[in-house]
A and B are shown apart, each in its own frame.
Chain A
């Protein structure tokens, strides 16, 4: 819908997102996190252009070298360039992080919205279901799925997607429970709108802020879980450049070549930290009380 003219002068239309961005920008830690993530995404996308060697390519005679100009992160015991592997590893981590978070968000939103909106028996059933899922440790589930479907990126995505939605469902449910009492929702009911319209057009957009914040932090958590699973050998198979796998491979030589463990480990730490910082910044920036 568009209206051609505005009263113009005193109040210009100020979209809610613009003011949120203004507040986010003032948070230095969050901006640092965001800068790191942007750099990481760019590096992952441009990996073939910013690395000199392939991630699985062994270099003759260059085994277990410390960082140098030729190999900024050194090389591992079979002569692969660690910098290349870390950069390509960002692709794996980000892919798994985003894909499984999308699965979690979709499931969490759906179950949380239905539970909070309808209440009663539906609510009880869904909440008991989340309790059941909470009782299953994701590592055990991952090992089970890896045993059945084989070790792969896909099975990791499915495992983490299926275990990550529980917190989201609870958050969405709580928002729906409080928002559905509000007068504008009652007004929508008085208008005779369909339940789907009320849930997704009137309640969901107002429940979105905690979801955005939680999802951002969740991506970081998923990347950490993925590293843990890879370390345990349940994740992607060697020679895939997954950070957790690299940490696992590097742990034997800690005394002589600490860089094999510390550099991919540092990549995990910084990435997870960056997601947490951005999530924190978003929470402050999106606080509806400030709008």
Chain B
């Protein structure tokens, strides 16, 4: 493994961290395709097709994959922002689908989300103080003075001046808005935060600041993160465990260290080979796996292995039989008929 690139967090696999906080089992989400005069359902987009995930307290699980692979949908399913077609999400033992409206509202304190677009994430008609104070009012019924105190504290936590509270979002830069978005997610002291592409809309120079902030908050507050990202450098930096998604399915999952050093699924190998290496000599000599074509339409996924249409290893068996996720190492599971570990894929 080349030095300087892969710095996987923590010393060991995520198994050493806390007990399971969030357990998703066989999540499926189909979106109906409507057409015709009467808006009849003419087909289904299979956005998420049977995803099972576990997030432990204090760890970061990353969901990676191309755009359109269902990772953002999965993130929203985990928070019950959209209802799954099938499957369950248990948060600390609570089955979110069975909670009453009141119970769900109460439970929502414990899991929050940070969004991708810093320009759409804040209500343009509300001051930062109002945005951050609102959850405290709604959930705790705090009076103005107490809310103001907590808002100051939140702004300070994310590295913004407390005086910013009476400004409107349009007075801030993208990076500052993203910090406000993080402060809002922290307001109710959640245990888990879904980070939906938290830095991909920011300048590279700003990204590092946000990543460090997220890392510091996790260490200080013991937060669990579900990080949705397509930038593998960010993922490497923050993750304890990684799940690689392709067309609505998890194709490989495991401790970040194992997955990055010895990817077994051809799709993971191709993804990793696209990560630039900050050493021109290594970069010049390494073999890049470039996938041809586009991902198939999720309205009409291929039979058998969903990746077979772009896989250089595909054989007849891949068309007929869908590969299951099979354990290959401690917590390292791969869904491929012909898994082959490439040691040091970046070399």
List residues of A whose CB falls within 8 A of some B CB.
1-3, 5-7, 11, 13-14, 16, 182-184, 186-193, 197, 202, 205-206, 288, 291
Contact = CB atoms under 8 A, between A and B. Distances in A.
A3 B184 CA distance: 18
Contact of A192 (B117, B130, B138, B171): B138
A205 B47 CA distance: 33
B130 A1 contact: yes
Interface string B100-128: 00001111110011011100111111010
Does more than half of chain B's interface fall in helix, strand or loop, or is it mixed? helix
Given A1-B147, A183-B117, A184-B123, A191 B163 contact: no
Interface residues on B, range: 35 or more
B263 to A, nearest CB: 32
B163 A3 contact: yes
B166 A190 contact: no
Nearest to B164: A7
A187 B138 CA distance: 14
Given A1-B144, A13-B167, A206-B125, A187 B130 contact: no
Contact of A291 (B79, B115, B170): B170
A273 to B, nearest CB: 31
Nearest to B133: A1
Contacts of B164: 7
Interface in B146-193: 147-148, 161-168, 170-171, 181, 184, 188
A84 B56 CA distance: 80
Interface of B: 76, 79, 81, 104-109, 112-113, 115-117, 120-125, 127, 129-130, 133-135, 138-139, 144, 147-148, 161-168, 170-171, 181, 184, 188
A6 B163 contact: yes
A114 B8 CA distance: 49
Nearest to B187: A191
Contacts of A189: 81
B171 A11 contact: yes
A190 B81 contact: yes
Contacts of A206: 123-125
Contacts of B127: 1
A122 to B, nearest CB: 14
A197 B139 CA distance: 13
Contacts of B167: 11, 13
Contacts of A186: 76, 81, 113, 115
A6 B166 contact: yes
Contacts of A13: 166-168, 171
Contact of B104 (A3, A182, A187, A192): A192
A11 B173 CA distance: 13
A201 to B, nearest CB: 8
A129 to B, nearest CB: 18
A6 B128 CA distance: 13
A191 B134 contact: yes
A16 B147 CA distance: 24
B120 A184 contact: yes
A192 B108 contact: yes
Contacts of A190: 79, 81, 108, 112-113
Nearest to B162: A3
A16 B169 CA distance: 11
A183 B125 contact: no
A190 B165 CA distance: 22
Contacts of A197: 138
Q: Which 5 A-B pairs have the closest CB atoms?
A: A192-B108, A192-B105, A183-B115, A205-B125, A183-B120
7 contacts: A1-B147, A1-B165, A3-B129, A3-B162, A13-B168, A183-B115, A192-B139
